[in-house]
Amino acid sequence: MSSSGLPHALVRHVRIRPEPSFRNDDAPSELAAVALTLILVTGCVRTYRIDVQQGNVVSKAQLDQVQTGMTRAEVKFLLGSPLVADPFHSERWDYYFSFKSGETKETEQRHLTLYLKTTVSSR
* Confidence at residue 26, expressed as pLDDT on a 0 to 100 scale: 64
The rounded distance, in Å, linking the Cα atoms of 47 and 103 is: 10
Domain total in the chain: 1
Contacts of residue 92, Cβ cutoff 8 Å, sequence gap at least 6: 86, 113, 114, 115, 116
Q: Say if residue 21's pLDDT is above 90.
A: no
Q: Is the predicted pLDDT of residue 120 greater than 50, yes or no?
A: no
Give the 3-state secondary structure of residue 45.
coil
The answer to the question of residue 16 being in a domain is no
Contact 98, 55 (CB under 8 A): yes
Average pLDDT score over residue span 5-34: 69
The pTM assigned to this predicted structure is 0.54
Q: d(Cα 113, Cα 5) in Å, to the nearest integer?
A: 111
CA dihedral 84, 86, 91, 93 (to 10 degrees): -10
Per the domain annotation, does 96 fall within a domain? yes
pLDDT for residue 68: 85
Give the pLDDT band of residue 98 (cuts 50, 70, 90). Answer: very high
What are the tens digits of pLDDT across the range 51-74?
Answer: 999 988 888 999 899 888 888 888
Q: Is residue 40 part of a domain?
A: no
92 part of a folded domain = yes
Would 65 be classed as within a structural domain? yes
pLDDT value of residue 122: 34
Residue 36 lies in a domain: no
* Residue 84 resides in a domain: yes
Residues of the domain holding 94: 52-115
